[in-house]
Amino acid sequence: MYSESDLDAAVAAGKLNVEEAAKFRAFIAAQKTAPAVDEEYVRLLTGFNDIFVSIALVLVLVALGFLAAPTGASGLCVAAASWGLAEYFTRKRRMALPSILLLMFYTVGISSSLIWMIGLNFGTGLALAAGNFVPGEVSGTLLLCPALIGAAAYLHWRRFHVPITPAAGAGGIIFFGMAMLMGLVPGLRPFWSWLLLGSGLGVFALGLRWDISDLARTTRRTDVAFWLHLLAAPLIVHPLFHMLGLLNGGDAGGGRAAAAIGVYLALGVVALLVDRRALLVSALGYVIYALSFVLKHSGVIGSDLSYTALVAGMALLMLSAFWHKAREGLLALAPIGVRQALPPV
C-alpha cells in the first residue's frame, strides 16, 4: 500500500518525475471514476505508526509543559522541544501527522510565551473570538507580537516545510494583530467583526494564490492551500453570523435564517468553483449552531441539534455525490479567464 507521502518521497529522491507521479494519481483516481485533481488529497497519515508516534509526542510535550510551568518558561520549553523532535520526525522520517502536531505545539508554545510576556491569558483569546475583547496591559511588546509569531512561523517553514505552517503563522498573526489593534485603538472595538472578516478574506486570497500555483494539485503547494482555506472559512463565517445576531443571543427570525442559509450557500458556490471542500467543513459547525438557534427561537424545533445536523448532513452527502457535475455546471457559466485560473474538472 502506497501513500501520497510515499509518492512525494519517490519524486524527491528522483525515482519518479512529477509527470509520472501525476499520471499514477490520475490512473488511481480514474479507477474511482473521479479526476485526481478533484479528490483533494491531504497528507495526514503514512501508516498507523504516525498515530503511535503522535500519541507519544502529545504525552511528552504536554508533560514537559506542566513540568516547566513553575518556571514560567513552559511555552519556550515546549517550542524548543517541538523543534528538536521535528529534526528527526519531520526532516528525516517525513511523518505527516507527527509533523503537523509538532508544528502546532511549536506555534502554541511561542504564542503562549508571548501572551505570558505581555500579561495576557488564554481567556482573552476566547473573549476576542466572542467579540467581547477586553485588552490587558498594553505594552511595547504587544507591537512586536505579530512580527515575532510571523518570524517564528517563517523560520519553521524554511527549515521543515510542513504544509500547515503558513496557516498556523497566519492565525497567530491575526490573533495578535487583533489584540494589538483592540488594545492600542479602543475605538476599533465595535468594528472587530469587520476586521476579522477582512482577515478571513485575506487568508482565503492567500490560499487561492497557492492553489493557482499548482492547478494540477500534484505538489505540496496544494496541502498549503488546503490548510489556508480551512482557516479562512471560520474567519469569514463567524463575523458574518455575529453581524446577523445569530451568535450573540439576539432575536431570531425567518429573515436571519434565510440570511444564514444564503451565506452558507454562497460559501458552497465558492467552494465548488475553487474545488475546496475544506471551506464547507470548517464552517459547518457555525451553520449547524446558527440554524439550530434560529429554529429553536422560532418555535420550529426544540433545543436538540439532531434535526439540524440531519438536514445538514444529508445536504452535504448529496453535494458530495454530485460534486463533479455541479462543478462542471458552475465552471461552464464562468468566464474563460476565471476557468483558466481554477482547477480543471
Q: pLDDT tens across 131-187, in order?
A: 444 444 444 556 778 889 999 999 999 999 999 999 999 999 998 888 778 777 778
Tell me, what's the pLDDT at 136?
A: 45
10-residue stretch averages of pLDDT, the chain, 345 residues long: 64 74 69 56 81 95 93 90 96 92 95 74 42 45 80 95 95 88 80 94 96 85 93 92 74 67 88 91 80 66 66 85 89 87 82
* H, E, C per residue of 81-141: HHHHHHHHHCCCCCCHHHHHHHHHHHHHHHHHHHHHHCCCCHHHHHHHHCCCCCCCCCCHH
Consecutive H or E run containing 335: none
Rounded-to-integer distance, Cα 40 and Cα 222, Å: 8
What pTM value is reported for the model? 0.81
Judged by DSSP in three states, 202 sits in helix
